[in-house]
A = this chain, B = another copy of it.
Amino acid sequence: MSTPSETRAPEPDAGTLAATASQYFRDLQARFCAAFEAFEPQSRFEARAWKKPDGHRLQGGGEARLLRGSVFEKVGVNVSHVWGVLAPEARAQVAGAAESEGRFTACGISLVAHMRNPYVPAMHMNLRYLATSRAWFGGGSDLTPTFPIDADTAEFHAALAAACATYRPGAYQEYKAWCDRYFYLPHRQEPRGVGGIFFDDLATGTDGREFAFVRAVGEAVLEVYPRIVARRKDAPYDEAARERLLVKRGRYVEFNLVYDRGTRFGFSTDADPDAYLMSLPPLVRW
C-alpha cells in the first residue's frame, strides 16, 4: 500500500475510550485492507490522509483507503477521528450536543465493497463511537447481493448473530430487524439487500461491554466476508448477469443519496464529498 506522508492528527483524549476505539478502528482498517489485497493479483489500496487545519472549529483527521481491482471493483475503507465544536445548526442532529454546548468527539470506520462478479454480494460495514454530553457506539453491517444465495446470506447472518450473542440475548433479532427497517427503499418498496444488523445509541458503561460488542462485530465481518468472496469470486457469469448487477447498484445509489443518514449528514457539512460518497458504486446503469 502507498503510505501517505502525514497520517495521524494529535489526539486530545489519549487513554480514553475514544482513543482506544480509534486505535482499534485504525488497526481494523489495516487488517481489512490486507485481507482484501490478498485477493488482488496487482491492485493495491491507495491511501489519502486528511487533517482538519489548525485553528478550525473541528480538529482531527482520518485516512481514506480505496482500491479498484479485479475482484474488488471498488472498495473503500475509511477511518476518521475528529473532535471539536459542532456548528449550531448541526447540534440538533446529534444526541447530547445541546448539553455539551456542541463539544463532541467522534471516531469510526466505514467500509463499502462493490464486487466485479455479480455473484459476490456487495458489503457495507460501519462502526462508530460518539461522545457529547453522552457517549455511545453505533454501527452495523449488511450484504447487498444482485443474486441472493441462501448459503451466503445464512453464513453472514450466523456470524453476526454469534457476535450479538456475546453482547446480550435478543440483540441479534433486534438489530437484524432494525437493519431491515433502515435499509429499505420506500419508493421501490424493496429492501436494499439481504440485511445484516444495525444498531445505535449503545450507551457506554464502565464495563467496556459495548466496545467489546463492536469489536466482535468487526472481527465477525473480517472473518466471514472474505470467506464468501473466496467462494464466489470465480463464479462464471454472462453479460446479462453483469447488467443486472449494474441495475441493482442503481438502487444502492438511490438509497444512499436519498435516505442514508450518514450520507445526508455529509451533504449538510463541509466534509469532503469523496469521503462520504466513497460508498457509491464504480459503474451503474439506469
Chain B neighbourhood of A267, CB < 8 A: 186-187, 258
User: Closest CB of chain B to A250's CB: distance in Å?
Assistant: 7
Q: Encode A250-277 as 1/0 by CB contact (under 8 A) with B.
A: 1001100110000010110000010001
> Which of B74, B246, B258, B273 meets A257, CB within 8 Å?
B258
Q: Please state if A281 and B277 are interface contacts (CB–CB under 8 Å).
A: no
B258 with A253: CB separation less than 8 A? no
- Bound state CA distance, A160 and B155, in angstroms? 59
Least CB distance from A105 to B in Å reads: 24
B187-A280 in contact (CB<8A): no
- Chain B positions within 8 Å of A237 at CB level: none
Option from B250, B282, B286 in Cβ contact (under 8 Å) with A285 = B282
Say how far A187's CB is from chain B's closest CB, in angstroms: 5
On chain A, which size bracket covers the interface?
A: 20 to 34
A168 within 8 A of B: no
Asked if A188 lies at the interface with its beta carbon under 8 angstroms from chain B, I say: yes
Q: Which residues of B contact A257 (CB under 8 A)?
A: 253-254, 257-258
Task: Assess the B286–A277 pair: CB atoms within 8 A.
Answer: yes
Interface contact B280-A283, CB-CB below 8 Å:
no
Q: Report chain B residues within 8 Å CB of A74.
A: 286
Compute how far the CA of A254 lies from the CA of B260 in the bound complex, rounded to whole angstroms. 13
A254, B246: Cα distance in complex, Å:
17
A284 at the interface (CB under 8 A from B): yes
Q: How far is the CB of A128 from chain B (nearest CB, A)?
A: 21
Residues of the B chain whose Cβ atoms lie less than 8 Å from the Cβ of A254: 257, 277
Distance from A144 Cβ to chain B, minimum over Cβ atoms (Å):
16
What residues of B have a CB within 8 angstroms of the CB of A280 in the complex? 250, 286
Q: Which A residues have a C-beta under 8 Å from some C-beta of B?
A: 74, 186-188, 246, 250, 253-254, 257-258, 264, 266-267, 273, 277, 280-286
Give 9 A-B contacts (CB < 8 Å), ordered by A residue. Answer: A188-B273, A246-B283, A250-B280, A254-B257, A254-B277, A257-B258, A280-B286, A284-B285, A284-B286
